[in-house]
Structure 1
Amino acid sequence: MRKLFNGLLWILGTLLLLGVVLRALVLDVWKVPNDPMLGAALAPSLAPGDVVVVLTRGTPGFGELVRCPDPEAPGSHIVGRIAGLPGDTVDVDHTVLLVNGQRYDAETACAEPKVSITDPATGNPVQLSCNMVMMGPGLHARATGRKPPLERRHHVEVRPDTVFLLSDNRSYHDDSRDFGLQPRSACNQRIVFRLWGGAGWSDDRRRFTFVR
């Protein structure tokens, strides 16, 4: 019995040490801040209060969701999906995305076809459509609503060593249409896993889920 107990302690200690090493070298645990604009732009993939695992090593590719330093607020972050790599030509017109002439349209509706967000300008609830789009490593969720009245088509040629970021919420965005291209070297942190949502451990729908 004592050998079994010691063996379990050894396994637990090893796992704990491994977790500390991974946290120090390649992983970060981040809580999405309660920022109205960021929260709206992240829907439906993430929401304020979500606790997520961020992979801090490697080079993210096209279609991956990344965290970057906020160019306008030191110490804060922006989050977007890489929709353009160096040399790419990107055209965005609300729900329409073309990269090098290839169009990325909705493939199917989400399991929950409607998503509710809070309008960051008014504080009122807004319902948006949710559908799935194939980009890069797989399908991800995208939110769309009515086209904002001042929204215009964006045509961008991605410069060397930069990336074009696109919000998963195409109607309430905070991305390269708003703050421009970002340094590729600064956008090297992939959001890969949600530990739990803003409602805490009891919300099993947002607990232990991969972030696409």
Structure 2
Amino acid sequence: MKNTRKKEIWSWVRTLLIAGVIVFICRYFLFTPSTVLGDSMSPTLQNGNMVMVSKISDIHRFDKIIFHAPDADEDYVKRVIGVPGDSIEMKDDVLYINGKTYDEPYLKQNKQTLAGDEHLTNNFTLKDLTGKEKVPKDSFFVMGDNRQNSRDSRYFGFVSKSSVVGKVEFRYFPFNEIGGIE
């Protein structure tokens, strides 16, 4: 009877240890949960949204990423606008990347709140903001979707690849908005 109890306890301990190792590997190497703070990505992401961040996904233009803020002791969530080698210009609320115009459908709702001749994003060139013609190697140029209320690369410059926590893949709170994010 004593031997059976020891075997059962050892079975539980072993199961819990294996589960703990799996959670540790997933949490620190594959994905991590994060909470959105602030309104800079509104309406795409709202303050208090809880998201799952992939640490192993490749990052492409227009992906949403979480990174260690270069100007604060916190993490920011922003949209990647420029990847290494890109030249960027904003003119009359039209985004130009490498001389080509890009539609930004995620800004539509915010643009509808503007007065007739008002712009959501002020005119700029990458050179005006950073002194560089192109996004450097291992860096990203990021902006929030709520352009009038976002501390982003227009203020603090490029985001180094090494400061990126990961790519936002999935919203899991609030429950009525569970799923992928446009």
Q: By percentage of residues, which structure has more strand?
A: 1
Aligned to 1:23, the other structure's residue is in SS state helix
3-state DSSP of counterpart to 1:210: coil
- Retained in 1: the 8 A contact 2:93–2:122? no
CA distance in 2, matches of 1:185, 1:59: 13
More helix by share: 2
Matched, 1:195 2:172: yes
Equivalent residue number for residue 59 of structure 1: 58
The corresponding residue for 1:3 is none
Structure 1 residue 186 corresponds to structure 2 residue 163: yes
1:209 pairs with one of 169, 179, 182: 179
Deviating runs (4+, > 6 A) in structure 1? none
Deviation at 1:148, TM superposition (A): 6.1
Which of 99, 102, 122 pairs up with 1:101?
A: 99
1:101, distance to aligned residue in structure 2 (A): 1.1
The structure with the larger Rg is: 2
Contact 1:164 / 1:182 at 8 angstroms: preserved in 2?
yes
- Aligned twin of 1:42: 41
Task: Specify the SS of the correspondent of 2:67.
Answer: strand
| Aligned partners of 2:65 and 2:80 also within 8 Å | yes
Match in the other structure for 1:79:
77
Asked if 2 retains the 8 angstrom alpha-carbon contact of 1:84 and 1:165, the reply is: yes
- Distance in 2 between the 1:155 and 1:42 partners? 22
Which residue type is aligned with residue 31 of structure 2?
Answer: L
The verdict on how the C-alpha distance between 1:187 and 1:95 changes in structure 2, with shifts beyond 3 A counting, is farther
Structure 2 stretches lacking a partner, 5+ long = 1-15, 127-133
SS at the partner of 1:29?
strand
Structure 1 window deviating more from structure 2 (180-189 vs 80-89): it is 180-189
The answer as to whether partners of 1:58 and 1:188 remain within 8 angstroms in 2 is no
Contact 1:57/1:188, CA 8 A, preserved across alignment = no
| 1:50 CA drift (Å) | 0.8
Matches within 5 A, 1:105-116: 105-106=103-104
Amino acid at match of 1:155: T
**Residues 106 and 56 of structure 1: CA distance in aligned 2, closer, same or farther (over 3 Å):** closer
AA of the residue aligned to 1:189: G
Q: Distance in 1 between matches of 2:157 and 2:165?
A: 17
**Farther-moved stretch of structure 1 (23-32 vs 63-72):** 23-32
User: Residue 148 of structure 2: SS of its match in structure 1?
Assistant: coil
**Rounded Cα–Cα distance in structure 1 between residues aligned with 2:66 and 2:159:** 11
SS in 2 for 1:171: helix
Aligned counterparts of 2:58 and 2:64: Cα–Cα separation in 1: 12
Q: What one-letter code is carried by the residue in structure 1 that aligns with 2:179? A: T
Output the CA distance in 2 between the equivalents of 1:155 and 1:50: 32
One-letter amino acid matched to 2:145: D
